[in-house]
């Protein structure tokens, strides 16, 4: 299963997305009533499929609501 997930990630994400934001730490989940649930058991990534979405993620990271690293696939863009 892991080999398929890796191949799929490379085909669908690395090959097509404009930017990826890798969260620092693990995401925490909350139940509907508001109680904290568990944490993600793997790396969490936001994927931007348009420049405007990558830019919105960059602004959010600079403003502080999310922590991590934004990676643009174009060499002429800033890495946050």
Closest CA relative to residue 44, chosen from 18, 76, 13: 13
Contacts of 79 (CB under 8 A, 6+ apart): 69, 70, 71, 72
Q: What is the pTM for the complete model shown?
A: 0.73
Per-residue pLDDT of 10-67, as tens digits, reads 787 877 889 999 999 888 889 999 999 888 888 888 999 998 999 999 999 999 878 9
* Long-range residue pairs from 6-11, CB within 8 A, at least 24 positions apart, any chain: none
pLDDT band at 1 (very low <50, low <70, confident <90, very high): very low
């Amino acid at each position: 299963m892991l080999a398929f997930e890796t191949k799929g990630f490379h085909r669908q994400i690395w090959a097509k997305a404009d930017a990826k934001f890798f969260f620092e730490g693990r995401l925490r989940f909350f139940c509907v009533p508001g109680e904290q649930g568990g944490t993600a058991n793997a790396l969490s990534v936001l994927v931007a499929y348009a420049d405007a979405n990558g830019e919105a993620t960059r602004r959010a990271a600079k403003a502080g609501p999310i922590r991590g690293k934004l990676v643009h696939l174009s060499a002429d863009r800033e890495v946050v």
